[in-house]
Structure 1
Amino acid sequence: PGAPVLTASMECGTTVALGGSIHIKRRVVYEAPPGSPAITLHSFWMSGSTMLYHRRGGKWREVPFDGCCWGIWDDPDVEVNVSQHECFTSLEAGEAWTREYNMDPTDVGEIPRGVAVGDVFRYRYLGTEMDWWDWGGKKEHAETTVKLPSFISGRVVDPWDNNGRPKLVIPASDAVEFTIV
C-alpha cells in the first residue's frame, strides 16, 4: 500500500488577555478505517513547524521566530528503539497524537512593539514531511532500531531513505485566530 493519511488540526480560545498566554491543542490524526494496520513514526517533527501571524490595520504579517538555538554535537550517531524512544509514536487507525501547551505569544516570536487590545493573531501548524515511518505498532516494532544524530533532535540518519517507503506528508492545519482583549 501507499503511505498512511494523516491530518492536522489546532484548537485554542478566541481571546487572550493583553500580556497573557493562550492554551493550544494540536492534533495529528491517523485517518484510516477500523482494522487498518497501526503505524509507527518519528513524531519529533510533528511538534515544530508553526507560524504566528499578526494583523493590525488590516494588514497581516509573519511574526519572525527568534527564541531558540540548537546545541549540535559532532559525536557518533545514537541508535534508538522506535517502540521505546520518546521521539517516536505508534498510532492505531483513527487515533491521534496530541500536544497541549500554553503559548505566550512572546515565546514564539518578536511580538511587535505596542501590541494593543483588539490586535488579532493567527497561529498555524505548517505541516511536515516525515523522515521515518513504518506499518505496525509498538509490539511489531519491539526490535526495530534507527539511528539519530548525536543531538537526537534531528532527522533519522539510518536508514536515511526510510527503507524506500513512500513519503508521508502531514498537511498544514487551518489557522486558529485569537484577539487580544
Structure 2
Amino acid sequence: MEVQFAGSVMSLEDPRGFIITIRRAKDDCDKPCIFRWNVPRDGGLKKLEGKLQPPPPQNFKLEGYEVETEELLPGQTLRRHIGSPSPFWDHMVAGERYELFWPGAEYALWAWGTFREHWNQEIGVSSGLPPHVIPGGVSCSFPCVEVEESQSESEPDDPQVDKAERVPGTPYISVSLEGPSEVCKPNKMLFTVKMTYEGLTSDNHEAVHTDTKPIIIHNHGFAHDNFRLQRRCPEFDHIKDADADEDLIQWKTYFDDEQGACHMIVEDPDVEVKVTDSEFFYCLKPGETVVKHNCIHYSDLHPDTMVGNNYRYQYWGGYVDWWVWGDSEEHASTVVKLPCWLNDHVIYPADNDGRPGIMVPFSNVVEFSVVS
C-alpha cells in the first residue's frame, strides 16, 4: 500500500484529501483476482498504532461492475481518493503537522477469478477463502492550515500511470505528443498523438523487439479523459516552495465543470462491434504507429486566462481493456460487445479471454504560452 497526499497542505476549509494505492504483489499465481475496498465502509485509514484486527465477517453480492471492486493481476494496482482523514477531521488544529498512519487490516471481500465468473455470486467469508491481510506501516505527513493561501480551480487528480505498472509479457505501447508552443485568442490548437506498438514488455518493464506479432487493441484507453490540460499557477514561488514538490504545486489540472461528466439511464441492449472497426479498434504491426489529432479550443482554457499564462498538455496514461494477437484478416469475423453508448470499456468478453490488460504510461509534455 502507498499513501500520497493530494495537495501541499491540508486546508480545514477545503481539504484535498489523499490518494491510496493498493498493489497486488507479483507471485507464482498468474490468475486474476477481484478485490473490493470501500474507504468509508471498509475502515479506511486510521491514525492509530496497533495490531492487525480483523473486521467483522463480511459478504458482498457482486451484481455487475461497480467502482469499489476491481479485477487485479499480479503487479497491478487499485487507487482510491479519500476526501478527508475521518474520523480525526473534527480534532485537527490549524498550524499543526499530522501523520496519517495505516495500522494494517484484514479484508474478506476478495476471490480468485474475474468479474464475469462471479456475477450474481457472493464473495467474502462465505466463499471459505481466508481474509487477505494488507500490512501496516505506511504513512504520510502533512501540515494543517485553516485556509490554503492559493486555492486552485482543480480537483484532486488521479495519479499518472507509471512505467513500472506495465505488465510483463503484454504488448509494449508508448504515446508521444507534438503540438504548438503558442496560442492566441480565438485560435484553436491541434495536438498530434502518436501511439506506437514497440514490442513486448520485459520483466523490467522495457520493450523487447523480438518474436512479436500483430495486435488489435480497443482504443478507449486513449480517449479524451486520459489527457490532462494543466495551467502553471501564477502564484508559484520558487523560493517559498523550494522544499515542496515543485511539479505538484507549479502545475494544476484544469477541470471545466461545465463540461463535466453527465449521467445516463439507458436500457438499450449492448452492441456487437467487429474488432476490425477502425472507429473503436487499432490494428498494429510491431513497430507501427497510429496517429490521431486532439483539438483544444481557446474556450477550453481557464476563463480568466490572459496573455503570458502557460499551459501544458499530456497523455496521463491509460489501460487497454481488450486486445488480441493477430491482424484484421485473421479476426475479420471477431466481435465484442460494447455498451449501447459505445464509448466505454468492452462489456463482453469482460475478462479479455484471460489476457491481462495493457498498461500505457504517461507521455511527454507539450507546453504552450498564451500570446496576443
1:37 aligns with 2:228: no
Equivalent position SS for 1:103: strand
Match for residue 119 of structure 1 among 304, 309, 317: 309
Q: Paired residues, what number?
A: 178
* 1:17, distance to aligned residue in structure 2 (A): 1.2
Identity %: 35
* 1:153, distance to aligned residue in structure 2 (A): 1.1
Is this contact kept in 2: 1:34–1:94, CA < 8 A?
A: no
Equivalent position SS for 1:29: strand
1:174 aligns with 2:364: yes
4+ runs of 1 displaced by more than 3 Å? 68-72
Deviations 1:7-64 (A, max 9, x none): 0111111111133221211111000237731110111321321111111233422211
Match for residue 12 of structure 1 among 179, 189, 203: 179
Aligned to 1:102: 295
Equivalent position SS for 2:220: helix
State which structure, 1 or 2, has the greater radius of gyration over its C-alpha atoms.
2
Match for residue 255 of structure 2 among 64, 89, 98: 64
Cα distance 1:54–1:128, how it changes in 2: closer, same or farther (>3 A)?
same
Cα distance 1:53–1:99, how it changes in 2: closer, same or farther (>3 A)?
same
Higher relative contact order (CA 8 A, sep 6+): 1
Q: TM-score, normalised by structure 2?
A: 0.45
Mean CA deviation greater in 169-178 or 32-41: 32-41
Aligned to 2:53: none
* 1:112, distance to aligned residue in structure 2 (A): 3.9
1:54-93 aligned at under 5 Å gives the runs 54-55=231-232, 56-58=234-236, 59-66=250-257, 67=259, 69=262, 73-84=266-277, 86-93=279-286
Write the distance in 2 (CA, Å) between the matches of 1:73 and 1:31: 39
Is this contact kept in 1: 2:320–2:357, CA < 8 A?
A: yes
Superposed CA RMSD: 2.0
Cα distance 1:151–1:179, how it changes in 2: closer, same or farther (>3 A)?
same
Aligned to 1:53: 230
Deviations 1:51-85 (A, max 9, x none): 11111233422211332536552211111110135
Is this contact kept in 2: 1:34–1:93, CA < 8 A?
A: no
* 1:136, distance to aligned residue in structure 2 (A): 0.8
Q: TM-score, normalised by structure 1?
A: 0.89
Cα distance 1:77–1:93, how it changes in 2: closer, same or farther (>3 A)?
same
Equivalent position SS for 1:106: helix
Write the distance in 2 (CA, Å) between the matches of 1:70 and 1:177: 33
Is this contact kept in 1: 2:220–2:320, CA < 8 A?
A: no
Write the distance in 2 (CA, Å) between the matches of 1:70 and 1:31: 37
1:139-158 aligned at under 5 Å gives the runs 139-158=329-348
Write the distance in 2 (CA, Å) between the matches of 1:82 and 1:162: 13
Is this contact kept in 2: 1:71–1:151, CA < 8 A?
A: no
Aligned to 1:162: 352
Which structure has greater strand proportion?
A: 1
Deviations 1:133-155 (A, max 9, x none): 01111011111111111111111
Cα distance 1:72–1:177, how it changes in 2: closer, same or farther (>3 A)?
farther
